């Protein structure tokens, strides 16, 4: 039996949930409206969401396991898998109840199939397979990064639809990628990090500064008190025409400065200068891509898109380039199940699988295999 104590550990992010949804029920009976249950367990957040056609989020419940991993200074895969197992059913129940609907109202289930931690992915995939099989519902296997890519098109009321061609910068704890999309299913990667992900660089530098894990958000707060020009950190700007990223040189430079016995810079100045170097590098790759071709939408998504300096600089950049920038609401920047259901609503049949054929793939490729 599930104990209340377990549920007390759940930090529920009631991000922008709708309470006044009486007018929407039964949503799946409305003409042309599809209601999906999304499930996301690729890393260390157990999340479930109810999302309808047009990216309307009826509920988005995300648990946060940070307290279980903090003392190890990073995510422990074994712990993440076990936490998902103990939370997934409660989180799905909570999402259904907040959306005021039941399994009978669903038109399908969307689940993150990969990439991610295998012990984490299998929990969500097993839950989705079981529900889809038992209720004879369509099952959609979503690539986690496609979820991030379409996260800006989620909201509780009307939101914009993606405009193609679309350029997207996906910046999270595990990934830093620049991608372009001609449609919801024709997506290719332009560049990726050669070493650390942007969020990983934030977390490692934050740790050296004595900030608790995951340190990205704490470093962001610290940086607001510092001078971004105090230290000239290196910016990775390769001469060749590449859209790749690298953050290891910057991370090493930060370590050298933080650990210097005679250091004179304050923590806040180091944080602000480090953050400015990451942001400049990201904006430089957007410049390179938009110099080559114009895009109707430019998306910046993933946990690092929550960074306040990046968000501010992107606004300025968008105005300067005359480009529409789409950044998800904060609740949809970090891992969440609403973005998984949202991606499935856009990609539809191309990612549909037979429930018992769905598999968790920690190395799921980025591009969809063309249908023949």
Residues engaged in binding Zn ion (CB under 5 A): 172, 335
Give the residue with the Cβ less far from ligand KG4, 119 or 302.
Answer: 302
> Which residue, 257, 254, 302, is CA-closest to 277?
254
Query: Of these partners, ligand KG4, Zn ion, none, which one is at the site of residue 328 (CB under 5 to 8 Å by kind)?
Result: none
Query: Of these partners, Zn ion, ligand KG4, none, which one is at the site of residue 115 (CB under 5 to 8 Å by kind)?
Result: none
Q: Exactly one of 306, 339, 343, 345 binds ligand KG4 (CB under 6 A); which one?
A: 306
Give the residue with the Cβ less far from Zn ion, 206 or 305.
Answer: 305
> Which residue, 149, 84, 136, 68, is CA-closest to 107?
136
Pattern 237-276, ligand KG4, x by CB under 6 A: ----------------------------------------
Q: Exactly one of 150, 153, 202, 295 binds ligand KG4 (CB under 6 A); which one?
A: 202
For every residue of 235-255, DSSP letters joined together read: ----SSS---B--HHHHHHHH
Least Å distance, CB 353 to Zn ion, is: 21
Q: Exactly one of 180, 267, 269, 335 binds ligand KG4 (CB under 6 A); which one?
A: 335
Using CB under 6 A as the binding rule, whether residue 214 contacts ligand KG4 is answered as: yes
Using CB under 6 A as the binding rule, whether residue 196 contacts ligand KG4 is answered as: no
Least Å distance, CB 369 to ligand KG4, is: 23
Give the residue with the Cβ less far from ligand KG4, 28 or 172.
Answer: 172
Angle of the 216-223 helix axis to the 198-208 helix axis, nearest 10: 70
Place of tokens 């405009």: 163
Binding residues for ligand KG4, rule CB under 6 A, total 19
Using CB under 6 A as the binding rule, whether residue 216 contacts ligand KG4 is answered as: yes
> Around 32, how many Cα atoms within 13 Å sit in the side-chain half-sphere?
1
List of residues 6+ apart from 165 with CB closer than 8 A? 180, 181, 182, 293, 295, 296
Place of tokens 């934030």: 202
State how far the Cα of 20 lies from the Cα of 7, in Å rounded to an integer.
Answer: 25
Q: Is residue 26 within 8 Å of 105, Cβ to Cβ?
A: yes
Give the residue with the Cβ less far from ligand KG4, 28 or 41.
Answer: 41
> Which residue, 335, 337, 277, is CA-closest to 305?
335
Burial of 239 (0-12, 13-18, 19+ CB in 10 A): exposed
Q: Exactly one of 304, 325, 337, 364 binds ligand KG4 (CB under 6 A); which one?
A: 304
Binding site for ligand KG4 (CB under 6 A): 43, 172-174, 199, 202-203, 214-217, 220, 302-304, 306-307, 334-335
């Amino acid at each position: 039996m599930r104990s209340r104590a377990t549920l007390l550990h759940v930090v529920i992010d009631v991000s922008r949930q709708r309470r006044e949804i009486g007018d929407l029920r039964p949503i799946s009976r409305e003409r042309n409206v599809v209601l999906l249950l999304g499930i996301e367990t690729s890393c260390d957040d157990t999340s479930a969401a109810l999302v309808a056609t047009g990216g309307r989020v009826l509920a988005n419940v995300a648990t946060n396991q940070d307290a279980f991993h903090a003392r190890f200074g990073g995510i422990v895969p074994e712990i993440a898998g076990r936490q998902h197992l103990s939370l997934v059913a409660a989180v799905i129940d909570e999402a259904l109840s907040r959306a005021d609907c039941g399994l009978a109202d669903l038109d399908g289930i969307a689940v993150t199939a990969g990439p991610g931690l295998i012990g984490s992915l299998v929990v969500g995939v097993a839950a989705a397979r079981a529900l889809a099989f038992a209720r004879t519902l369509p099952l959609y296997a979503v690539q986690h990064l496609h979820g991030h890519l379409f996260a800006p098109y989620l909201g509780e009321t009307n939101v914009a639809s993606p405009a193609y061609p679309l350029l997207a910068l996906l910046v999270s704890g595990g990934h830093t990628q620049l991608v372009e999309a001609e449609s919801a299913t024709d997506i290719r990667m332009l560049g990726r990090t050669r070493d650390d992900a942007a969020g990983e660089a934030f977390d490692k530098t934050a740790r050296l500064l004595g900030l608790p894990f995951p340190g990205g958000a704490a470093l962001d707060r610290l940086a607001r008190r510092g001078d971004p020009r105090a230290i000239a950190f290196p910016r990775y700007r390769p001469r060749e025409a590449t859209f790749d990223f690298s953050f290891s040189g910057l991370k090493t430079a930060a370590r050298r400065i933080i650990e210097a016995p005679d250091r004179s810079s304050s923590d806040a100045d180091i944080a602000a200068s480090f953050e400015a170097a990451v942001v400049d590098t990201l904006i430089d790759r957007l410049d390179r891509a938009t110099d080559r071709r114009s895009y109707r939408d430019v998306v910046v998504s993933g946990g690092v898109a929550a960074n306040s300096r990046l968000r501010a600089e992107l606004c300025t950049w968008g105005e300067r380039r005359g480009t529409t920038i789409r950044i998800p609401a904060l609740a949809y920047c970090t891992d969440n199940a609403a973005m998984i259901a949202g991606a499935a609503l856009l990609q539809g049949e191309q990612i549909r699988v037979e429930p018992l054929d769905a598999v968790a793939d920690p190395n799921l490729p980025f591009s969809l295999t063309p249908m023949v």
